[in-house]
Chain A
Amino acid sequence: MSIVANVRKRLGSYGIYIALIVIFIFLSCFSESFLSVNNILNLIRQASFNGMLALGATFVIMTGGIDLSVGSTLALTGVIAASFSIQSGAIQLPLGLAVLVGIIVGVIAGLANGLMVTYGKIPPFIATLVTQMVLRGAALVFSNGQPITGYTSAYKWMGQGAVGRIPIPMILFLILIVVCALVLHYTKYGRHVYAVGGNPQAAKASGLRVSSITISTYVISGILAALAGIALSSRVNAASPIAGEGYEADAVAAAVMGGTSLAGGTGSIGGTVAGVFIIAMISNGLDMLNVSSYYQKIVKGIIIFIAVMLDRKKD
C-alpha cells in the first residue's frame, strides 16, 4: 500500500511532464507532419509569447499574487516601441534603445502593480485589473486606435528574424527560461520569493523585505510582458493596441498547470514551461488535424483539466 501511495505521490509531482509527453506522442501518431523540424520550430515560436508571460506569472503567483495586466502591458509596449521604429516616424531609435524604452514601460507597469499591492494594500486581483484597464486605454490613446505598421528592418528582425533556422523569439524565450530558472531556483533572491509566498509573516519576522520582494516580482512580470510585446508586434508586422487581450488567462493557466499554487509558495520554472508547451501543442495539433474551432475550445478545456488533475498532489 505504501508503495502504491509512493508511486502516486511521485507521479503527482511529475504529472505535468507525463501529460506533456502523452500529448506529444498522441499528436505525433495522429498527425504525420507534427514531428517535422519545421513544425517543431513553429510550435516553439508560437509558444514563446505566452511562455514569456507565463514565466512572469510564475514569479508573481509564487508570492500569492496574480498579474492580470500582462496583456495590456504587452500591447502598450508594442505600440510604443514600434512607434520609435517605423520608417516614416518622427523619431527613429536604434533597435536597442527602442527595446529599452519598451522595457522601461514594462518596469513602470510592474512598479505600479507592486506599489498598489504592497503599500496600497489593494488585493492583487483588483490592483492589476486597474492597470489592465488603464494600460489598455493608454495603448489606444497612444496609437489613436490604429495599428502601427511600416517597420525598420532592425525592428522586423526582433520577431521575424532567425539565426540559422532558429527564430529570434524562440532564442529569446529559451534564454529567459534559463535566466528565470537560475534566478528562482539557484539564488538567494529566489529562495526569498518562495519564503514570501509560503508564509509572509514568517518571512517578515526573519528579516526579509517582503514588500520589496513582492514589488520585484511584478516588475519581472512587467519586463517579460514588455519583451513579449516587442517581439510579438515585430513578428506580425503590426503593433496593435488591442493585441494580447485575454493573454493573462493562458499565462496563469500555464503556470498553475505547471504546479504553481495560486496560494503562493510552490512552483517551478520547469513546470510552467511544460504548461506553456501543452497549451501551444493543443492549438498547433488541433489546427493540423483541422478540428473545427467550435470543438477546439472544448478539447482545450478538457486537456487543461486532465493535466491539472494529473498534477494534483495525492496524499
Chain B
Amino acid sequence: MTKWLKVLCTAGLAAGTVMVSCMGAMAESTTEAGEEKTYKVGAIFQDLSNEWIVIEKDAFLEEAEKHPNIEFIVLDGQGDPANQIKQMETLVSQKCDLIICNPYDQFQLTPSIQGAIEGGIPVIALGTNCDEDVGQIHISSSNQVAGEMQMQQVVDDLGGKGNIAVLRGPNGNFSRNGRDEGWEKVLENYPDIHIVFDQAADWSRVLGMDTMENWLSTGTQIDALVGQNDEMALGAAVAIEAAGRQDEIRIYAIDGIPDALNAVKEGRMVSTLFQDAKKVGKEVVLLAEKMLNGEEVEKIYDVPFEMVTIDNVDEYFDR
C-alpha cells in the first residue's frame, strides 16, 4: 500500500468512527440538550436483529419519549450473553438508577444481575428471567401458560386422540423450555395423542419447511402440526400446502406476527397465540418509572398471551 493510501484510510477510519459515534449517540440515548434528567435507566435488549425484539424496542422507545425526566440508554446484546455481561458492567459503572435487562440466556446473566442489585441498582428482567431469585423484578408473557393454552386447544380440536408433529425452538432456549413444560402438562393427561415427529427447528422458517417436507415424505398420518413459533409453522404450512395435505393437517403456532395473522385469517392456520410485544415494551417503561418513584411493585408481572383464531383475528392486525 502506498503512503497516501494509508493516510487516506486512516482519515477515513477516523471520520467513520466520529460519524458512527454521533449516530450511536442519537440512537442510543433519549437525551436532548437542555433537558433536566432526574433518572438514568439502562436497557439491554437481547438481539436487535430479531423481528419480535425490534417491535418491543420500538414500543419501548415510543413510551420512553413520554417520560422526559428519565434518560434511557439502549444497548443491543447482539444475541450473545457475553456481550450482555459486558454491557451490564458498563451500565453499572455509568451509575444507572435502574437497569432493564432482556437476557439472551437465563443462566449466564444471573451473576451480573445479582451484582447490580447488590450494588444498589434495581434490575428488571424483561422476557427471559434469570434462573434464581436474586431480587429482580420479572416482566414477561408466561411461556408455560402459552404452551398449555396451545396444546389444550390442539387436544380439544382432535377430540383427545390423534397423531401430532411438533416443531420446537432451539435446544436449551428459555422460551422453548417454558413452552415444552406447558405441552407436557397437557399431554400427560391424553395418552392417545401421539407425537409422531419431534424436531428442533430453531425458530427458523427454512428449517421448519425442510423438516416438514421430510416428514411428509414418510407418508405417516399427521393430524396436527404444532409449532412453538410462527416462523417455523409458516414454513411448515408452505410444505403442507405444496403436498396438498392442508385438509388433513391442522396448524397451530405462537407469537402472532403479521404473516401468521394473515394465515389465520385465510384459514391456513388454526390459531396463533398473540404475544403483545408492544404492550410489554410499553409496560416495562411504566414499571421502571414506578420503581424509580419508590412505589411497591409485584415481583412477577405477567402480560398474558392471547389466543387468536379466525373469530377474533381482525382485532389483532392493528396491534
Question: Are B209 and A236 interface neighbours, CB within 8 A?
Answer: yes
Question: Are A288 and B218 interface neighbours, CB within 8 A?
Answer: yes
Q: Give the complex CA separation of A147 and B219 in angstroms.
A: 32
Question: Are B213 and A146 interface neighbours, CB within 8 A?
Answer: no
* Residue of B whose beta carbon sits closest to that of A286: B214
Q: Mark B130-173, 1 if CB is under 8 A from A, else 0.
A: 00000000000000000000000000000000000000000100
Spot the interface stretch: A36-44, A101-109, A190-198, A248-256: A36-44
| CB-CB under 8 A for A294 and B171, given A146-B54, A160-B238 | yes
Question: Are A147 and B259 interface neighbours, CB within 8 A?
Answer: yes
Q: Give the complex CA separation of A241 and B54 in angstroms.
A: 13
Return chain B residues, CB-CB under 8 Å to A145: 48-51, 54
**Quick check: is B206 within 8 A (CB to CB) of the other chain?**
yes
Q: Mark B170-194, 1 if CB is under 8 A from A, else 0.
A: 0100000000000000000000000
Question: Are B206 and A243 interface neighbours, CB within 8 A?
Answer: yes
Q: Give the complex CA separation of A147 and B262 in angstroms.
A: 14
Return chain A residues, CB-CB under 8 Å to B209: 235-236
| CB-CB under 8 A for A36 and B217, given A147-B259, A290-B198, A293-B171 | yes
Question: Are B197 and A290 interface neighbours, CB within 8 A?
Answer: yes
A288's partner among B198, B206, B217, B242 (CB-CB below 8 A) is B217
Question: Are B214 and A39 interface neighbours, CB within 8 A?
Answer: yes
Question: Are B49 and A38 interface neighbours, CB within 8 A?
Answer: no
Return chain B residues, CB-CB under 8 Å to A211: none
Shortest distance from the beta carbon of B268 to any chain A beta carbon, whole Å: 11
Question: Are B214 and A287 interface neighbours, CB within 8 A?
Answer: yes
Shortest distance from the beta carbon of B100 to any chain A beta carbon, whole Å: 19
**How many residues in A have their beta carbons less than 8 Å from beta carbons of B?**
36
| CB-CB under 8 A for A238 and B217, given A149-B258, A293-B199 | no
Return chain A residues, CB-CB under 8 Å to B234: 237-238
Shortest distance from the beta carbon of B253 to any chain A beta carbon, whole Å: 14
Question: Are B238 and A237 interface neighbours, CB within 8 A?
Answer: yes
**Quick check: is B286 within 8 A (CB to CB) of the other chain?**
no
B205's partner among A140, A236, A241, A294 (CB-CB below 8 A) is A236
Question: Are A232 and B206 interface neighbours, CB within 8 A?
Answer: yes
**Quick check: is A188 within 8 A (CB to CB) of the other chain?**
no
Q: Give the complex CA separation of A147 and B209 in angstroms.
A: 16
Return chain B residues, CB-CB under 8 Å to A242: 49-50
| CB-CB under 8 A for A287 and B54, given A33-B218, A243-B206, A294-B171 | no
Return chain A residues, CB-CB under 8 Å to B227: none
Majority DSSP secondary structure for residues of B touching A: helix
Residues facing B in A37-66 (CB within 8 A) are: 38-39, 42, 46
Q: Give the complex CA separation of A120 and B6 in angstroms.
A: 11
**Quick check: is A2 within 8 A (CB to CB) of the other chain?**
no
Question: Are A236 and B238 interface neighbours, CB within 8 A?
Answer: yes
**Quick check: is A31 within 8 A (CB to CB) of the other chain?**
yes
Return chain A residues, CB-CB under 8 Å to B206: 232, 235-236, 243
Question: Are A42 and B205 interface neighbours, CB within 8 A?
Answer: no
Return chain A residues, CB-CB under 8 Å to B217: 33-34, 36, 38-39, 42, 288
Question: Are A288 and B214 interface neighbours, CB within 8 A?
Answer: yes
Return chain B residues, CB-CB under 8 Å to A39: 214, 217
Q: Give the complex CA separation of A94 and B49 in angstroms.
A: 29
Return chain B residues, CB-CB under 8 Å to A287: 197, 199, 210-211, 214-215
Question: Are A46 and B238 interface neighbours, CB within 8 A?
Answer: no
Q: Give the complex CA separation of A241 and B51 in angstroms.
A: 9
**Quick check: is A283 within 8 A (CB to CB) of the other chain?**
yes
Return chain B residues, CB-CB under 8 Å to A292: 198-199
* Residue of A whose beta carbon sits closest to that of B48: A145
Q: Give the complex CA separation of A44 and B215 in angstroms.
A: 16
**Quick check: is B7 within 8 A (CB to CB) of the other chain?**
no
6 additional A-B residue pairs with CB within 8 Å, beyond A31-B218, A147-B259, A237-B234: A120-B1, A140-B48, A145-B50, A145-B54, A236-B206, A287-B210
Which A residues have a C-beta under 8 Å from some C-beta of B? 31-34, 36, 38-39, 42, 46, 120-121, 136, 140, 144-147, 149, 160, 232, 235-238, 240-243, 283-284, 287-288, 290, 292-294
In the assembled complex, 28 residue pairs joining A and B whose CB atoms fall closer than 8 Å, in A order, are A33-B217, A36-B217, A38-B243, A42-B214, A120-B1, A140-B48, A140-B49, A145-B48, A145-B50, A145-B54, A146-B54, A147-B51, A149-B259, A232-B206, A235-B209, A237-B205, A237-B238, A237-B259, A238-B205, A238-B234, A240-B205, A283-B214, A287-B197, A287-B210, A288-B215, A290-B197, A290-B198, A292-B198
